[in-house]
A = this chain, B = another copy of it.
Amino acid sequence: MRIAELSRRSDVPVPTIKYYLREGLLPPGELTSRNQASYGEQHLRRLRLIRALIDLAHVPVAGVKVVLDALDSDSMSLHDQLGQVHRAVTPRPQLTANDADRVAAEAQVRKLVDDRGWLVEPDAPAIATLIETVAVLRSLDQARLVEHLDAYAEAVERFTELEVAAVVTRTDPHQIAESVVIGTILGETLIAALRLLAQENVSARRLGGPTT
């Protein structure tokens, strides 16, 4: 198919497709002559994935490129692919808490990782974000929200188990990688939405509900 049809079927404007091609998010179509290329179903799939990452998961374009490069690499282990993706979706956080709170937060987070026996790199970006978040909650006098970090961690492990269970039903490495990556990124959007609904429910039941 040519670019016009790709645009129509994906609902992405032609100039935007060209932009994604320029940025290397979308592989070039097969050139049939100097100024004519043909695109296949995989381009359509890729374009849908790009839009989902940008529109739904709010991953910046540069991050999408990193994610897709990881997905396309077949010299990288799945663990390393996942690491790339994690780095692409967790920018190093601005330091906004004060130092004393951060020191306490770091101790709490390190202890959590240790108690759980989690095998994670000590300088993973998610660790930095977690420390900063805990530190900020302390700075804002909300330490009580963070007293039962371990219980949160336990609830979070449940997701991961569910996801792993869903993913290991596939056998092709490429398909597994794709599921892991999509699950990692869109899973967050999904969980965030579910969480808001659960909150709204509790709020409605305990706090008077709508029009009360």
Interface residues of A (CB under 8 A from B): 11, 45, 48-49, 51-52, 55-56, 58, 77-79, 82-83, 86, 89-90, 93-94, 96, 113, 116, 118-121, 124, 126-127, 129-130, 132-134, 136-137, 139-140, 142, 144-148, 151-153, 155-160, 162-164, 166-167, 169, 178-179, 182-184, 186-210, 212
Contacts and interface: CB of A to CB of B under 8 A. Distances in A.
A53 to B, nearest CB: 10
A85 B45 CA distance: 34
Contacts of A140: 45, 48-49, 52, 182
A59 to B, nearest CB: 12
A82 B187 CA distance: 23
A70 B70 CA distance: 42
Q: Do most interface residues of chain A lie in helix, strand or loop, or is the interface mixed?
A: helix
Q: How many copies does the complex hold?
A: 2
B162 A197 contact: no
A164 B212 CA distance: 20
A167 B147 CA distance: 11
Given A45-B140, A129-B189, A166 B145 contact: yes
